[in-house]
Amino acid sequence: MRGVLRNALLMMAGCAALAAAASADEHEHRARVPMLKAYVQECSGCHIAFPPRMLPAASWQRVMAGLATHYGSDASLDTATVNQISVWLNANAGTGRRVREAPPEDRITRSDWFLRKHHEVAPGVFLRPSIRSAANCAACHAGAERGDYDDDGVRIPR
Amino acid sequence: MIPSSRSMALAVAAMAWCVALPAWAQPTSAAAQLQHWEAAAGAPGQPARGKTLFTTKAGNDLSCASCHGAPPTAASRHASTGKRIEPLAPAFNAERFTDQAKVDKWLRRNCKDVFSRECTAPEKADVLAYLLSLKP
């Protein structure tokens, strides 16, 4: 019984913390699109929660339709969550001239704007053990988790 | 600022809502998971067998350890994205195996990634026994 009570208390504390975190987020990042909680929860286990503006809606649609074979991993989800995240991605997808066209394989890292932005980064740099992949934004962009990709915050690890 | 009774009521309602949604956050524990899969397997989980399963690369040139490290007692990195992954062994990360839906989801996905199939009850019991055998 004690275990049940402790779990219930832990869960309540967790819920309270979640609610507090959600409201703090809204205040700090009003200028950016606030991240959908389900999106962060479900999509940032293996990679950071990429800002939806980095891909066009057509790419997000294909990504969400193929989660069972997601860049070499099974990222399948229940239908309700898939639908919820899809609607949000569709509403917040990139629409500007730079992001309008779907990149090869719907990979952010193969977008023209991404390649242009990183043209000074030598190819081997992304493969360093400290970075491992161009998709590992947070390795160099310290503010990536908060949606901050500003050039000024870049520090490339050795 | 003194919290208004309205915001207090909202907070209480939010907590009640959380507690009333067992499918969303049904609490569990590594020990409860072990017990469950041992019962389903009809045999106790064996840590040594779990360790082998955890560290052996299967058909996709991946093992559990490719992302979780071996032993999975410290933070590691995702094999393809490089993202930091917090320790998996419950004695090193109290959050692990505390949410039933999350446990089910990740076991399903990761077994498919590594073995191209879902894991069996004896396999899950073995891996849980292994993870629970890891102590600071």
- For residue B129, give its domain range: 27-133
- Look up the pTM and report it: 0.77
What's residue A31's pLDDT?
43
B9 part of a folded domain: no
Q: Alpha-carbon distance A25 to A40, whole Å?
A: 13
Q: Alpha-carbon distance B119 to B64, whole Å?
A: 12
Domain locations along chain A: 1-30, 31-153
What tokens does A1 get? Answer: 């019984």
**Nearest neighbour of B113 by CB, restricted to A15, A73, A139:** A73
What's residue A39's pLDDT?
97
Helices (H), chain B: 5-19, 30-41, 47-55, 64-68, 100-115, 121-133
Q: Phi first, then psi: what are they for B59, rounded to 5°?
A: -55, -30
**Nearest neighbour of B80 by CB, restricted to A11, A19, A72:** A72
What's residue A12's pLDDT?
55
Are B117 and B36 in contact by the 8 Å Cβ rule? The answer is no
How many domains is chain B partitioned into structurally? Answer: 1
Enumerate residues 6+ apart whose C-beta is below 8 A from A44: none
What's residue B12's pLDDT?
52
**Nearest neighbour of B14 by CB, restricted to A15, A45, A139:** A15
The residue length of chain B stands at 136
What's residue B110's pLDDT?
96
Taking alpha carbons only, the member of A18, A103, A26, A86 closest to residue A52 is A86
Are A13 and A5 in contact by the 8 Å Cβ rule? The answer is no
B5 part of a folded domain: no
What's residue A5's pLDDT?
57
Domain with B69 in it: what CATH number? 1.10.760.10
Bond before A51 cis per omega within 30 degrees: no
**What long-range pairs does A29-38 form, CB within 8 A, spacing at least 24?**
A29/A146, A29/A147, A32/A147, A33/A92, A33/A147, A35/A147, A36/A84, A36/A85, A36/A88, A38/A81, A38/A84, A38/A85, A38/A88
Say how many CA atoms lie within 13 Å of B75 toward its Cβ.
5
Instruction: State whether ipTM is beyond 0.90.
Output: no
pLDDT less than 70: residues of chain B? 1-24
B13 part of a folded domain: no
Q: What value, to the nearest 5°, has the Cα angle with vertex B76 and ends B122 and A46?
A: 80
What's residue B59's pLDDT?
81
Q: Alpha-carbon distance A91 to A68, whole Å?
A: 23
Does the beta-carbon distance from B19 to A131 stay under 8 Å? no
What's residue A78's pLDDT?
95
B31 part of a folded domain: yes
What's residue A71's pLDDT?
95
What's residue A56's pLDDT?
97
Closest-approach residue (CA) in chain A for B61: A72
User: Could you tell me the end-to-end alpha-carbon distance of chain A, in angstroms, rounded to an integer?
Assistant: 51
pLDDT tens, per residue, chain A with 158 residues: 455 556 555 555 554 544 444 433 333 333 478 999 999 999 999 999 999 999 999 999 999 999 999 999 999 999 999 999 999 999 999 999 889 899 999 999 999 999 999 999 998 999 999 999 999 999 999 999 888 999 888 999 99
